[in-house]
Structure 1
């Protein structure tokens, strides 16, 4: 499946009052090669193994395969992941005809808040809520796989 999404920095916490769900996510990466990433994620009471391919030039689209797995297996795999686990709270926020996923990062990435919106195609128009800031789609330093290696708190 091809994942098409755009990412934005978030400028206020106004999304919180509009969220329809909130879940904690803990994830690690078994592989962060530039051509592919292999992620293990525990999201609420479910766990997933995800493989993502290299992004296209704009950073908007890339191949994604995901399979649900047992939490006990995910916990074991997290123990052998590369250094730099990601810990965050995800809010699902409806706006217009879209669902924005807003991630509040914790730990070494505390203070970073990013919103993502999945699209049907790269040129799909969507209205943006007023709490969206600068677009960071395609900026690799905002990829979760890179935030594990270069956490937000270390940026200058």
Structure 2
């Protein structure tokens, strides 16, 4: 009798443990689904920042020369040399994917991009003293690009997934 009672208790505990395990697995799945939904409601906006020299004409005139006689060959030679010189002067670029979870933040970012405030703020970050020292007397500029289609798609997604609060 004791064995039968003990076995039933063990069986109940086993089923209880399975039930708890199932409950936690279900909770984990629900949390994962919430996380995935939240991730989908975040919109990534790609920000491209590029520093480049303002003037290339002097450097190209000093470094690009072709002795080819055939006009087509000469043109190709000049193009190839120019391409090599320009690549050697590449100061690089940075691509950032920025996630937005609120429409107001996305809109503020876009407004700053459109009115030039973002560019001005990024100049202080990217055009450093060491970069200025590296380029010497040559003037450089910072180019910032955000794709308007990314912004519009981000607005659409955020409006769909994050209903705005009415204060």
TM value normalised by structure 1:
0.20
Q: Which has the higher contact order (CA 8 A, sep 6+)?
A: 2
Relative to the length of structure 2, the TM-score reads 0.19
